[in-house]
A and B are shown apart, each in its own frame.
Chain A
Amino acid sequence: MTDLIRLTDVEKSYTRGKEKIAIFDKLTMRIEQGDFVAIMGPSGSGKTTLLNLLGGTDRPDKGSIEFDGKNIEKLSEGKLTAWRSANVGFIFQFYNLMPILTAAQNVELPLLLTRLSPKQRRENVATALKIVGLEDRAKHRPRELSGGQQQRVAIARAIVSDPKLLLADEPTGDLDRTTADEILSTLQTLNRELGKTIIMVTHDAEAAKFAKRTLHLDKGRFDERELAA
């Protein structure tokens, strides 16, 4: 298998007031194409920060991040934004749908950044909603949907432009067990059948079982044995 992502000697710190808080110090890791990785770890260990770096919504202080053999850490703001819309789908804990848009319009949002015709966009939206099993809720507003349904819309939005990488930050953190399991099987299907590489942060050991492997992060460091495996 080829590596989709390669992090080399990544350093990242935040300054809060005068204090400098190091989150990552020379973090090196790789993630293969088609992998489904669960990342677990205590609060404040750097999980969200890692996803931000991988998804290009934040930049490392030092080190390199390769995606598909290309370095993304030095891309200009505009190029990085374009890269993100083409290659990464984001799934958030609190869904983050636009309340003013219907489910279908929420899913269509990332397609406004493409050159697809309105007809093609409608087709892609329908396909994405079908994959998450919500084709009959296309005209509903987020507040007319349950949490699980909203998260499905968010997943449809994340996959509609067919990115290679899906990043999910506690996607089931706000859902009950049954609904969570449904969402997790959907992610599993996306990984197995559509070959999406998925990196999922979770606090829930049950959720992590849906992934191919689990990495534990603590104070900005991964368990070395797990990384090597």
Chain B
Amino acid sequence: MNDLTLMSKNLWRKPVRTILLIVSITIAFLILTLMLSFNHALNNVNTLPTRMVTLSKINFTESLPIAHYDRIARTEGVAVATHMNWFGGYYQEMPRGFLPVFAIDPETYFQVYAEDLQIPAAQRDAFFNERTAMLAAAPVAERFGWRVGQRVPLRSNIFTNATTGADTWEFTLVGTIPTPAGSSQTGSVLIHYDYYNETVTFGRDRIGWVPFLTTSAQVNDRVANAIDQRFANSQDETSTQDEATFNKSFAAQLGNIGLVITLVVGAAFVAILLIVGTTMALAVRERTKEVGVMKTLGFSSDRVLRMVLGESLLLSFLGAAFGVAAGAGLLSVLAAGGGGGPQISFAPIVTLWAALIAMALGLVTGLPPALQAYRMRIVDAFARR
């Protein structure tokens, strides 16, 4: 037996109460884990300082004429430009089969996103040379059990295939893209713009947006101004930003959701704080006499304080550990089970945050009863009331 044994025995004195407390702390930390991982996924895509993007000034769902692309590519300071279209793709059924499918110009795309497209030359060439070829992020292929060489029918919830009149296109999977943490290709499926453009019934010769590399980050502002001024007062005005700013403004669009989540998590933690705080205070008050006995036996006030504090820390760390584990488990189940969009994976940094918050929660809820126990005089602990 040691002080830790005593602390945990005290903690489990009323098992139902303790389990309820742990469950509520677990839920708070589960929400925290999901929120932080979501936030982390949004904010931690690798960016290149020289990578910029031009899109419609109206908003990023508005398309641009293909002629814009040539002009942007020829702008001074632009090293290489590419273009992308949103295909509105899914596999078999929505929403489970939702996929971010992009119709792209392969050769320039591979230059602009070179660092995230390290795939075998044979697969790359197969993709370049076959108009109906398709590349998929490795986790996507794995999720749907696609093999390289397999023909995959993808559907669009926007476009109709002019050749068949249906919403289905057939592609051949010629390779997979490994997507380490932060890769810009997480979750992506890439198809040829040319093939897409020839087979859609509307929106021909329009492009979604134009990512490009500048010759140096120093010319970014100049390039952006040149491009946007070039198209000012035209039918299709543009907005050009560097990649980091673009990602941030994209995240900001989701920011309102983020605020709501933050408020929910905040409210959950305030509630937990009050519940755990009052319960701990009550638990220690119930033990007034036992604290008196401990002190009589020769346990110092410091030691009694540490033991009460240790108990509340134990409680909040147990709840935090379960909550983070549950969150990580839930995220991996979600990732394995499909559901579209960029995959949100468990961010290990969450563990650190959870530990800090658990520490704060344990101290804040444990300190008042710990101080009460610390100050308690033996004669008062035994006083008849």
B293 at the interface (CB under 8 A from A): yes
In the bound assembly, the distance between CA atoms of A82 and B1 in angstroms comes to 20
Q: Of the candidates B1, B10, B12, B379, which one forms a contact with A52 in the assembled complex, judged by CB atoms under 8 Å apart? A: B379
Q: Are A101 and B9 in contact (CB under 8 A)?
A: yes
B residues less than 8 Å from A55 (CB atoms): 296
Q: Is the CB of B296 within 8 A of A112?
A: no
Residue in A closest to B379 when the chains form the complex, CB atoms: A58
B296-A109 in contact (CB<8A): no
Instruction: Tell me whether A84 is interfacial, beta carbon within 8 Å.
Output: yes
Decide if B290 is an interface residue (CB 8 Å cutoff): yes
Neighbouring A residues of B12 by C-beta, 8 Å: 100
What are the interface flags for A61-101 relative to B under an 8 Å C-beta threshold, 1 for contact and 0 otherwise?
00000000000000001100110111000101000101111
Alpha-carbon separation in the docked complex, A90 to B292 (Å): 12
Which residues of A have CB within 8 Å of B9? 100-101
Q: Could you tell me the distance in whole angstroms from the C-beta of B290 to the nearest C-beta in chain A?
A: 6
Q: Are B300 and A98 neighbours in the complex by a CB distance under 8 Å?
A: no
- A–B complex contacts, Cβ < 8 Å, 18 sampled: A52-B379, A57-B379, A81-B299, A85-B297, A85-B298, A90-B297, A92-B293, A96-B289, A98-B290, A99-B13, A100-B9, A100-B12, A100-B13, A108-B1, A109-B294, A112-B1, A112-B6, A157-B297
Which residues in chain B, 276-302, are within 8 Å of chain A measured between CB atoms?
A: 289-290, 293-301
B2 at the interface (CB under 8 A from A): yes
A62 to chain B, nearest CB (A): 18
Q: Which residues of B contact A81 (CB under 8 A)?
A: 295, 298-301
Q: Mark A100-137, 1 if CB is under 8 A from B, else 0.
A: 11000100111011000000000000000000000000
A52 touches B378 (CB 8 A): yes
Specify the main secondary structure of chain B where it touches its partner. Answer: helix
Q: In the complex, A92 Cα to B292 Cα: how many Å?
A: 12
Interface bin, chain B = 20 to 34
Q: Which of A57, A82, A98, A108 contacts B296 (CB 8 A)?
A: A57
Contact A105 to B1, CB < 8 A, known contacts A84-B298, A113-B298: yes
Residue among A57, A99, A101, A157 with the highest chain B CB neighbour number at 10 A: A57
Q: A58-B378, A96-B289 are in contact. Are A77 and B297 (CB under 8 A)?
A: no
| Residue B107, interface by CB 8 Å | no
Are B290 and A113 neighbours in the complex by a CB distance under 8 Å?
no
A78 touches B296 (CB 8 A): no
In addition to A84-B296, A96-B290, 7 A-B residue pairs with Cβ atoms within 8 Å of each other are A57-B296, A84-B298, A92-B293, A98-B293, A100-B10, A112-B3, A112-B6
A114 to chain B, nearest CB (A): 9
Residues of chain B lying within 8 A (CB to CB) of residue A84: 296-298
Q: A52-B378, A58-B378, A100-B13 are in contact. Are A113 and B293 (CB under 8 A)?
A: no
Q: Give the CA-CA distance A52 to B383 in the complex, in Å.
A: 12
B1-50: which have CB < 8 Å to A? 1-3, 6, 9-10, 12-13
Write the chain B residue with the least CB distance to A105: B1
Chain A hits for B297, CB < 8 A:
84-85, 90, 109-110, 113, 157
CA distance A82 to B300 in the complex (A): 8
What is the bound-complex CA distance between A98 and B10, given in angstroms?
10
Least Cβ–Cβ distance between B288 and chain A, in angstroms: 12
How close is A87's CB to chain B, nearest CB, in angstroms? 10
Complex alpha-carbon distance, A109 and B301, angstroms: 16
Tell me the minimal C-beta distance from A41 to chain B in angstroms. Answer: 17
Q: Shortest beta-carbon distance, A124 to chain B, in Å? A: 13
Chain A neighbourhood of B301, CB < 8 A? 77, 81
A57 and B1 form a contact (CB under 8 A): no
Closest-by-CB residue of B relative to A97 is B293
8 Å CB contact of A57 from B10, B290, B299, B378: B378
Which residues of chain A in 155-176 are interfacial with respect to chain B, using CB atoms and an 8 Å cutoff?
A: 157
What is the CA–CA distance of A100 and B13 in the complex, to the nearest angstrom?
A: 6
B contact residues around A105 at 8 Å (CB):
1
- A93 and B295 alpha carbons, distance in the complex (Å): 17
A108 to B301, alpha carbons, bound, how many Å?
A: 19
Contact string against A for B residues 69-106, beta-carbon threshold 8 Å, 1 for contact and 0 otherwise: 00000000000000000000000000000000000000
Give the CA-CA distance A41 to B201 in the complex, in Å: 107
Shortest beta-carbon distance from B6 to chain A in Å: 8
Task: Render A147-160 as a binary contact track against B, CB cut-off 8 A, 1 for contact.
Answer: 00000000001000
Q: Which residue of B lies closest to A57 (CB)?
A: B378
**Complex CA distance for A110 and B294, rounded to whole angstroms:** 8
- Chain B nearest CB, measured from A3 CB (Å): 24
Q: Report A-chain residues with C-beta under 8 Å of the C-beta of B290.
A: 96, 98
Q: How far is the CA of A86 from the CA of B298 in the complex (A)?
A: 8
**What is the bound-complex CA distance between A85 and B294, given in angstroms?**
10
Report chain A residues within 8 Å CB of B293.
92, 96, 98
